[in-house]
Structure 1
Amino acid sequence: MMKKGYYTKIAGLGMFLLVLVAFQNYSKAGNENFPEVKFISENKSILELADFDPNDLDEKQWQHLGFSSKQIATILNYKKIVGGKFTSKEQFRKCFAISAEKFAELEPYLALPENNKEAASGNFKSFEKKTITVSGKFNPDHYSAEDWIKMGFSEKQADAILKYKSYLGGSFVSKEKFKECFIISGENFQKISPYLILPENTPANFNKYSKNFKTEKTKILYHTFDPNILDLEGWKSFGFSEKQAQTIINYRDRNLKGSFKNLEDIQKCFVISAEKFEEMKPFIKLSSVQNNENQKHETKQQEKTDFSKVDLNAITFKQLIEFGFDEKAAGSLIGFRKKLGGFVNKEQILTTYNIDPELTQKLLSTAQLNTSNVQKYTLTEAPEEWLKNHPYFKYSADRIIYYRITNPDDRKIWKYLKLKPEYETRMRLYTK
């Protein structure tokens, strides 16, 4: 009997220990840090935005706004749940597939009232949908912003359509791709589609990142021109991209010290293909004789240069050579000045690459600096091309262009940019 009681106690103690261990494991599990659930993040490569009605968008158009397939399915299901139509920004924001960050990005462009109360009362800014008018068959690849505006799109929408074309690689490619532009509603696509001079379907070999994919060439209307005075827009009008045009100008101004001396100089520029050169050749008129006379005149003047009277914003390549700069340093200084649009203070000149600091300091203490002709802009007025090419602004250009669409206030834009103090200081040298 005693043995039986002893074993009974041992068994009871064992059961107690098992229960205790199980409880401890349960407690640990309750305190365990499980992995945080995260929704699929949006694609950051968003296109240029413009006012749009989210009720008009199909799956492809949501995709081009940066949403994943799962997020799009959730958004479209949510739209069905709320009655088949988003009635306000407030309602749209409640869709859990749209993060707070994404909503903040899209909110200024949503053609919806702020909340359901405004929607019911009708006391909100109405986003009137303009009538789209098509006069006849056309190739959308050849349309400018002005052409899209004439058709009935707003200025912002026209700009967004052109940005979408650029995103595709410079051509709409097909009606299928054209339809995917989120600015083009289903209703407007049905109206425009019969007039589009585009294939119905996207070619199987299409890749917007492929340089080998060829789109229809625009016929270039050449005219007699002097390559030594042709500016960026002039080269672009001959079919060169903006980067190619800038490369040609840099080649002329830096490598050739300001002018093409003969046709061979033009032919040697690596962005001008042999085929392109032959196209342009009959229209090229070099003012070589006049250039040589000007150079001789400059040389005579430089022999007697009084550098105390020279303006650093006008000093020439040859004058820098005369002062003691080598060709590389002189070219760098002239090139940097041109990119800036002129120096605002002498300290900037010391940041030029390839220069001798001591020799440059000597020049700065001798020569004058006239800043009266340096172009300055407000952030809201600065041309896009200027922002994207200026050494101090080009890295913030896209954000400035984005912010000023809905916030045309320089103080707010500076605040949104959140720049390092030294970067902002440099940029403010060229703003009003």
Structure 2
Amino acid sequence: MVGAGFAGVECVRRLERRLGPDEADVTLVTPFSYQLYLPLLPQVASGVLTPQSIALSLRRSRKYRTRIIPGGAIGVDLKAKVCVIRTITDQTVDEPYDYLVLAPGSVTRTFDIPGLTDHAFGMKTLAEAAYIRDHVISQLDLADASQDPAERASRLQFVVVGGGYAGTETAACLQRLTHSAVKRYPRLDPRLIKWHLIDIAPKLMPELGDRLGRSAMEVLQRRGIEVSLGVSIEKAGPEEVTFTDGRVIPTRTLIWTAGVVASPLIATLGAETVRGRLAVTAEMSLPGHDGVFALGDAAAVPDVAKGLGNVCPPTAQHAMRQGRKVADNVVATLRGQSMEPYIHKDLGLVVDLGGKDAVSKPLGIELHGLPAQAVARGYHWSALRTNVAKTRVLTNWVLNAVAGDDFVRTGFQARKPAKLKDFEYTDAYMTPEQVREYVEGSGRGVS
């Protein structure tokens, strides 16, 4: 099993429940021995939730018997049935398999924009969220200490690229943080704090529909967030960002959330892909390769419920259910039984904008304000896998509602690079040719 996201963890846990100890050995490859609840990452960045509250340990329970290999899969040789792994000690090892389930997830989608990877922050990992919180608060401190009006203005402008769920929630949550924090800085003019949310698309979160999209836009604009659609980044520098409409925004904070692409691991297989995602059957098996399955963000799983030609969106609700179905299909294959296709009708969407603001569309019903917030947080809370995580998250929410925000920055990562290029290690993966050469050199190749 490769990957410990929603899909991978659901699959592993179901395999453990359905397979006897003498029936199969289960191995999980992941660089971190926890499952990250990604939808709540913006609330970690804004300090509403603590980082450990959304990092669900995979080693907490003694009843689980899966062997965890701390590292990342960087290549797969389908012919030799070998997965190539780079461990956290930077060693490259090969792991043979009988059945392989690929759920490596996705990485941040970037474009060939000058300065982007050198100067933009991402919002895909726990470390990035924690770092962004420190960074945003430090901009207030540095602006307060500066005697240069131009520097002060640039430190108090923030740009978020990406009008999807991640970008919208990130901008909304962090704007609330700075709005609350600036009250503790009497030397700073609150009017200097400006948040920009931009997206090349013509609509904000189009999946919500026109009415809820407009409602979300109104919430953001009421808070003073400037939303620009049909606009992207032309180039990025350390102290300014140039938009494609010609505007130059002086800023020290560029947060890039403009979508994701399948993990680079998928390209090492040399198999057919659909927009970068591995092409699989409705049973999530890889055509022509018995015992190989793929799911989640990295796989183009046919959306049977929507009809021919549609693929499932890379959302948590699909990934979790796909994980359980793949586990059932692996067990069925192992026992000589027939597999079943993955069918799931989308339950709706929730967008938490912080405080009392939210927009939701559960089962097609459009909600906004407090009812939407109750649905959004109720959904996230119920989706957390452990009671410990549920308790931590609920406690954090209550404490934040009663005591308000805090503005402490840890400084733990202040001396480490933390831009897009520093977190996702996308240069670590092999090409299909390198995988084959490595496997043959290790003596596991198929003649």
- TM-score, structure 1 length as denominator? 0.23
Higher strand fraction: Structure 1 or Structure 2? 2
- TM-score, structure 2 length as denominator? 0.22
Higher helix fraction: Structure 1 or Structure 2? 1
The structure having more radius of gyration, on CA atoms, is 1
Question: Whose relative contact order is higher, 1 or 2, with alpha carbons under 8 Å and at least 6 apart?
Answer: 2
